[in-house]
Chains A and B, each alone.
Chain A
Amino acid sequence: MGSQASTLLRHEELEEIKKETGFSHSQIARLYKRFTSLDVNGVGALSREDFLRIPELAINPLGDRIISAFFPEGEDEANFRVFIRILARFRPISDKEKSKDAKGPEPLNSRSNKLRFAFQLYDLDKDDKISRSELIQVLRMMVGVNISEEQLGVMADRTIQEADEDGDGAISFTEFVKVFEKTGIEQKMSIQFLD
């Protein structure tokens, strides 16, 4: 009669995950339970099909891009560490963490890492730049068939013009961060995890 969910994670692993992601014990246990329930074949890792089985994700216009974030190096499977690492980016930034200086590694849910997650959604070929064609492709995913190619081109050109500083016709990560200098993105890129 044990608590199955967290005994399947060794205690050391649990501590590691806690330190790396900042989730509490119970949150990790519940996310692990969610992970296993999505893993219907019981292989210990999630495939793209496992994600697509969630209807609300399958109908999300950017569903495919979000799922790709879980398979960064082009593998077929995402294990629990990868899973929880991505989810950790959406943890809200607590005031305690804000005041901590850059002592030690940057937390996964820092503002910079949140922005990087969004940047990676646009950067299809992972070359650290958002080119015009990549921007149009992502726009196309979001609007479907409802807007013409030309109009998308116009929108993309305008966006790049506003953000591009070094004139290379693409948006680098630094330029991307600068766009949001004055806006608060924390709430938009955070999920309320309950204790």
Chain B
Amino acid sequence: MKERLGRVEHSGRGTEANRGECREAAAAAALTFRGLGLRSAPAALPGLPGDRATSRSDLHRGSLERVRRAMDGADLAGKILSTWLTLVLGLILLPSAFGVSLGISEIYMKILVKTLEWATIRIEKGTPKESVLKNSASVGIIQRDESPMEKGLSGLRGRDFELSDVFYFSKKGLEAIVEDEVTQRFSSEELVSWNLLTRTNINFQYISLRLTMVWVLGVLVRYCVLLPLRVTLAFIGISLLVIGTTLVGQLPDSSLKNWLSELVHLTCCRICVRSLSGTIHYHNKQYRPQKGGICVANHTSPIDVLILTTDGCYAMVGQVHGGLMGIIQRAMVKACPHVWFERSEMKDRHLVTKRLKEHIADKKKLPILIFPEGTCINNTSVMMFKKGSFEIGGTIHPVAIKYNPQFGDAFWNSSKYNMVSYLLRMMTSWAIVCDVWYMPPMTREEGEDAVQFANRVKSAIAVQGGLTELPWDGGLKRGKVKDTFKEEQQKNYSKMIVGNGSLNSESD
């Protein structure tokens, strides 16, 4: 394995080293070799263009040599591959099966943290005074005037319409144009200090040669070392999941089957988490969701599911997808009962509620996992919880998930990236670091309707996770805001300018 690494880094550094693509660098190296009159580039690197003989007279000799080299190369590649796989098996797969950690990722994280701290200090030293970076990320562009309508419209005079009333609305409107609470939640959070990933480099300027070198090294490490490793792991993890659950599904229903299906799920999830270099801290494990309950959490990305299922088994709720997701879904449901809906069934709320009620009534079934926001938010805030999940009854187990954006941005901006490019971005980040807080179970109180209950749970999760709480609907990512909000404002204003006088008694 060291040999292979050595070769990769050598050819990478020999040419344009600040292009992140390992392959391109290697291909460029091959061309250089040819240019220098050498016959062949190291054949151990796959996918290189074979060298073409330069003259007819060399053709025959060249081809024999080529065949010999190819065989040597294939031999070498085979040996490297098998060493690689053995290492992966020994160091990662087996410990995952037993839930044991060898501490390799801890060492990696320590090195990473030290490097990022060093980088932050360098950047802070290097930036000129006027463009201090702290301003752009943590503080907004404006100081919003939060005075309510009554104060803003100056209640000095006896209430009646004044020409100046329009000032209040125009100021509020312009403030919203410059900075609003909602649209910023649908794009990735800005970092206070750069974390040496190209993709988060928005405001940061060239500081020093050393920093650039570290960044280049980081790119190489991420794309050439970590990415292949992670892709291998993910591949193994998913195949194991599909095969394992299908096999377990063949067994008759029994406690053995349940135990085995749990084992398969947990192992594969742990492998998949390692494939993202995930470091997860679980807090308050005593409140882990129990059977027959409903687990609700804030939603940032599809990886949330992975993170939660690594520590316990849940029954998932969702739409039936096609493709790879569909295969995984069908396999999983053989081993233990998840609740998958057809697209048409999702629209029928009563049907959905009924099926979920049936599921939780059976105390032997696993707790359901639901994300009431309905869409991915960027992990700086919690948006409106849809009341559907809170009408089912049963005990709600809230869970708060907070990612550390310094090591990798987990937010899935589905309008910008599709699933595959999102996963690639995940696998080329430093790591996924997050905290999961299990919270004490909550039930609906007397006289509380579903909406109030949903808001109560939402507040609890927001407070625990250190997120802002917003009353806005996550659906605003794609849809328009409802007119009722505007009508409410109009009503308030009308009340003010007419005083106690007669308002038109129109129905809202």
Contacts and interface: CB of A to CB of B under 8 A. Distances in A.
Contacts of A3: 131, 203-205
B110 interface: no
Contacts of A87: 174, 177-178
B130 A138 contact: no
A65 B160 CA distance: 22
Interface string B130-172: 1100011001111111000000100000001111111111111
A112 interface: no
B175 A146 contact: no
Contact of B498 (A53, A58, A151): A151
Interface stretch (A10-18, A93-101, A103-111, A183-191): A183-191
Contacts, number: 188
A157 to B, nearest CB: 11
| Of A33, A57, A180, most B-chain CB atoms within 10 Å | A57
Given A118-B166, A188-B164, A66 B174 contact: yes
B493 interface: yes
A48 interface: no
A155 B179 contact: no
A1 B169 contact: no
Interface string A54-79: 11111111110110000000000000
A161 interface: no
A122 B143 contact: no
Given A122-B166, A194-B140, A1 B212 contact: yes
B55 interface: no
Contacts of B142: 191-194
B490 A146 contact: yes
Contacts of A82: none
B169 A57 contact: no
Contact of A159 (B136, B163, B170, B491): B163
Interface string A110-148: 000000011001100000000000000011001111111
A115 to B, nearest CB: 10
Given A56-B176, A191-B171, A121 B472 contact: no
Contacts of B203: 3-5
The 3 closest A-B CB pairs, nearest first, are A144-B490, A146-B494, A192-B143
20 contacts: A30-B141, A37-B184, A55-B182, A57-B176, A57-B177, A58-B480, A61-B486, A61-B493, A62-B170, A62-B173, A66-B174, A142-B165, A142-B166, A143-B493, A144-B487, A145-B506, A155-B161, A171-B163, A189-B167, A192-B145
Given A60-B172, A159-B162, A188-B171, 16 more contacts: A2-B206, A5-B203, A37-B184, A38-B183, A53-B183, A56-B181, A59-B489, A62-B166, A65-B170, A143-B497, A146-B491, A147-B503, A176-B163, A188-B152, A188-B167, A192-B142
